[in-house]
A and B are shown apart, each in its own frame.
Chain A
Amino acid sequence: KQEVTQIPAALSVPEGENLVLNCSFTDSAIYNLQWFRQDPGKGLTSLLLIQSSQREQTSGRLNASLDKSSGRSTLYIAASQPGDSATYLCAVRPRNTGKLIFGQGTTLQVKP
């Protein structure tokens, strides 16, 4: 059974810092991995999607990496801003299924 774990559960940093969020999964037979952002009481915003054949994806200040063999992904946020404060969710899509399995999320607070 695929399980997704995110560490840390919560993180507080001063504005301007670079930071890394971690995601691990137990079964490497995945189709892809997605990182999402969720603001309080809101739905999900897709940040980055990495196919199983890819090693990383970048969008602006965000960079996500994938090491399928070790079951790990990281989300790197450069030059953090208060507007980055949110919960970040990692989700994997196992092979031969369309559903996503989510981690518990990392709640990030960036202080001005």
Chain B
Amino acid sequence: GAVVSQHPSRVICKSGTSVKIECRSLDFQATTMFWYRQFPKQSLMLMATSNEGSKATYEQGVEKDKFLINHASLTLSTLTVTSAHPEDSSFYICSAGGTTSPYEQYFGPGTRLTVT
């Protein structure tokens, strides 16, 4: 149980375009989802916390107009990287906390974004 999926697993886009990444909890309802970014050989940095039906809370230094987060249902959150630039190239990972087990986060497999 507690499976989180991400789609796509890899995406290459041109500079200036927008990319949407989906995060789904497959077998549980997630009231809260988290989005992390990981640069090569670095650890995970939290970007934002999203709660179902409300606006996301962004960490300091993360541009909310650039990284749009939507958490429209208890099983789906999306991250849209708008007007992507090469410096946005990174590994994006989502995690979800269940309604019955908020103590542990379950992580998706990640999405590798490359902006050319």
Contact = CB atoms under 8 A, between A and B. Distances in A.
A51 B43 contact: no
A27 B93 CA distance: 25
If over half of B's interface residues share one DSSP class (helix, strand or loop), that class is named, otherwise mixed; here it is strand
A24 to B, nearest CB: 14
Interface of A: 31-32, 34, 36, 41-46, 49, 51, 89, 91, 98-105
B67 to A, nearest CB: 16
A99 B44 contact: no
Q: Interface size class for chain B?
A: 20 to 34
A102 B44 contact: yes
Contacts of B103: 31-32, 49, 51
B102 A49 contact: no
Nearest to A91: B44
Most buried by B among A34, A41, A44, A89: A44
Contacts of A105: 43
Contacts of A98: 32, 34, 49, 97, 102, 105
